[in-house]
Amino acid sequence: MVLTQFLVLGALMFSIGVFGLLSRRNAVTILLSVELMLAAVNINLVAFEAFWNTAAAHGQIFAIFVITIAAAEVGIGLAIILLVFRNRASGNIDELDLMRW
């Protein structure tokens, strides 16, 4: 196994996530795309850790931080979506145009 194969896979996953982020209009599916992008970042971190092979496994620790932050992000994101849905009866991002001029 070489480093490049993991980096290319990470880049591919990240761009798929970007595609989902931009093409979706449902808020829950946008959050799913963000999760894909975070998973791509984790692959990169762990692969670089295996490449540099640091004594304290910095890359893996960072990956765990990313997982934690992603969990917090999903919790708060879904709460906001729930609130929006309760107020507007719609989960679509492009119908939230209150702050648009």
Partner 1 sequence: MTLADWIAEPVNWAFLAMAFPMVLAALRVVTSRNVVHAALFLVLALAASAGLFLLLSAEFVAWVLVLVYIGAVVVLFLFGIMITRAPIGKETNLSHKKIWPAAVASLAVFGVTFWLIYELGEQVGGFSDTLPAVGQATPTEILGEGFINIYLIPFEAVGFLLLAALIGGITLARKDLSPAEEREGAGL
Q: Which residues contact 27 (CB under 8 A, 6 or more apart)?
A: 77, 81, 84, 91, 92, 93
96 touches partner 1 by CB under 8 A: no
Is 26 among the residues that bind partner 1 (CB under 8 A)? yes
User: Which residues fall within 8 angstroms of residue 48, CB to CB, at 6 or more apart?
Assistant: 3, 59
**Contacts with 12 (C-beta within 8 Å, 6 or more apart), sequence order:** 40
Min CB(39)–partner 1 separation in Å:
5
Of residues 32 through 91, those in contact with partner 1 by CB under 8 A are: 32-33, 35-36, 39, 42-43, 46-47, 49-51, 53, 55-58, 60-61, 63-65, 67-76, 78-83, 85, 91
- The CA distance from 84 to 43, in Å, is 33
- Applying CB under 8 A, the residues found at the interface with partner 1 are 1-9, 11-26, 28-29, 31-33, 35-36, 39, 42-43, 46-47, 49-51, 53, 55-58, 60-61, 63-65, 67-76, 78-83, 85, 91-92, 94
